[in-house]
C-alpha cells in the first residue's frame, strides 16, 4: 500500500492478515413469549440457548458474557429505536425516549448451556468468542412475537402475513396485532 505523509506524519494505516485461522461459532435459541394484543405489552417467559464456545476457560464468566450479549440483542430487536428529524438530528437521545433493555425485559426463565466436548483447535486454549455472538440469538425473541401475532390473527379469523421489523417496540407490536373496535365487543 502507498503511504501518505503530511508534515512528517503518516496518514495511512496498514494491516497484516492474522496467521490465526478463523472458526465458526454455533448456537441455537428457543424463546417463549406472552403478548397483550390490546396494549402491545409483552413478557419474555423463557429463553433456552445452547452455545458452542469451544473449551470455556471460565464457564461462569463466559456464561455471563453470553447472557449479556443476548440482553444487548434484546435492545436491538425489541426496544432501541432511533428516531431522527428531517435534518438528521437524533430526537431520542436520552433514556426518557430511548429504551435500552432493563431488568424487566430479561426472560423470566433464562437458560444458557455451553455445548460440551467442542474444542476449538485454532483458538487460544481451545476457546471461542463469547461476548457478541449471542447477540444474534435474541432474534428468537422477535420471531417468537411474530409467531404469537400470527396465531392471534388466525384465532380471530384474520388473514395476512405478519411483518414485524426490528425493533419491535410496544407500539409496533400493538399495531401488528390489527385489533379493531369490533374485536373489543363481548358477545
**Which residue, among 36, 16, 81, 19, has the nearest Cα to 173 in the 3D structure?**
36
Q: What DSSP assignment string belongs to 71-136? A: HHHHIIIII----B-TTS-BS--STTTS----GGGS-SEEEEEEPSS---TTSGGGB---SSGGGG
Contacts of 61 (CB under 8 A, 6+ apart): none
Tell me if 35 sits within 8 A of 152, measured CB to CB.
yes
Tell me if 164 sits within 8 A of 173, measured CB to CB.
yes
Q: Is 80 a catalytic residue?
A: no
Task: Spot the catalytic one: 32, 97, 132, 155.
Answer: 132
- Tell me which residues are annotated as active site: 132
Amino acid at each position: 500500500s502507498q503511504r501518505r505523509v503530511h508534515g512528517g506524519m503518516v496518514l495511512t494505516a496498514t494491516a497484516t492478515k492474522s496467521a490465526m485461522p478463523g472458526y465458526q461459532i454455533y448456537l441455537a435459541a428457543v424463546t417463549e413469549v406472552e403478548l397483550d394484543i390490546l396494549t402491545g405489552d409483552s413478557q419474555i417467559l423463557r429463553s433456552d440457548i445452547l452455545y458452542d464456545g469451544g473449551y470455556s476457560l471460565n464457564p461462569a464468566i463466559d456464561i455471563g458474557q453470553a447472557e449479556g450479549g443476548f440482553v444487548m440483542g434484546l435492545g436491538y430487536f425489541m426496544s432501541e429505536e432511533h428516531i431522527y428529524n428531517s435534518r438528521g438530528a437524533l430526537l431520542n437521545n436520552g433514556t426518557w425516549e430511548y429504551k435500552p433493555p432493563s431488568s424487566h425485559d430479561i426472560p423470566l426463565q433464562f437458560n444458557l448451556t455451553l455445548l460440551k466436548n467442542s474444542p476449538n483447535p485454532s483458538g487460544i486454549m481451545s476457546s471461542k468468542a463469547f461476548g457478541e455472538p449471542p447477540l444474534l440469538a435474541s432474534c428468537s425473541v422477535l420471531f417468537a412475537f411474530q409467531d404469537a401475532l400470527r396465531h392471534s390473527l388466525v384465532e380471530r379469523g384474520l388473514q395476512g402475513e405478519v411483518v414485524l421489523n426490528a425493533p419491535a417496540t410496544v407500539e409496533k407490536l400493538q399495531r401488528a396485532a390489527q385489533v379493531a373496535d369490533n374485536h373489543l365487543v363481548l358477545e
